[in-house]
Amino acid sequence: MKPKRWCGMTAKTGTVLSGIFSIIAIYMYLTFEQKHMRSRNCTEIYRPKNMNIHIKQFIICWSWNIVLFLSCVTIVISCLLIYSVYAQKFKGLVIYIIWIIFYEAVNIILQIFADNNENIIEVRIVHWFGLVARIFMHCFWIFFVMTYAHIIYKSKSQGAIISHSRRISTGSGEFPRRKSKITSLTRHYKE
């Protein structure tokens, strides 16, 4: 059976490209956001009376460390995805799907908290555009990952059924060759 294609790619190819896209997108994200997130002024000790403000201040001050940690984990999980495609491991694909959803949700939260401190509207627009574009691209690639995970799951479950229903022959192990029923590959037409 010929594999289905979406946008000119099979599910396996799209899944591998999903991992590669994640690695490249995260590298670009860290490169462009490094100066912006590290330049936060968190040196003064501010003791707010409201707990929500204290949590918000903590997230803003530690946003670079949070993003760096999540990005490193995402790169490792993207490599796990590429290995899982090679080894046809179902769990690696599921872990990738769950992690990408979590990763993007945390990035949305960080962007919302960090957005209030920016005075320049153009910087906010560029940050939101980059985040939304990356989320849409992850949604596009996750379709391939989910499809390939479904294909692997079905093939593994069918393989388990087939392996349990096989009978082992107790014969001598020699099987007579069967003759082909096709005698000629050309069609004979009566004129």
* Lowest-confidence segment of 11-20, 33-42, 133-142, 165-174 by average pLDDT: 165-174
> What pLDDT digit, counting tens, does each position of 130-160 carry?
889 999 999 898 988 898 888 888 887 766 5
pLDDT at 26: 92
> What pLDDT digit, counting tens, does each position of 157-189 carry?
766 554 444 445 555 555 555 555 555 555 555
pTM > 0.75: no
Picking from 67, 96, 103, 100, the residue whose alpha carbon sits closest to that of residue 80 is 96
Q: 56-59 long-range contacts, Cβ below 8 Å, gap at least 24?
A: 56/113, 59/109, 59/110, 59/113
Give the Å distances, CA to CA, from 42 to 3, 47, 53, 57, 75: 54, 12, 14, 8, 28
Q: What is the mean pLDDT of residues 28-56?
A: 70
Q: What is the mean pLDDT of residues 22-45?
A: 76
Residue written as tokens 């087939």? 162
- The residues, any chain, with a CB within 8 Å of residue 115's CB and separated by 6 or more, are 124, 127, 128
Q: In terms of pLDDT, which residue wins out, 70 or 191?
A: 70
CA distance 189 to 6: 42
Question: Is residue 174 packed enough to be buried (19+ CB in 10 Å), middle (13-18) or exposed (0-12)?
Answer: exposed
Q: What distance lies between CA 30 and its chain's CA centroid?
A: 18
Residue 134 tokens read as: 């990356």
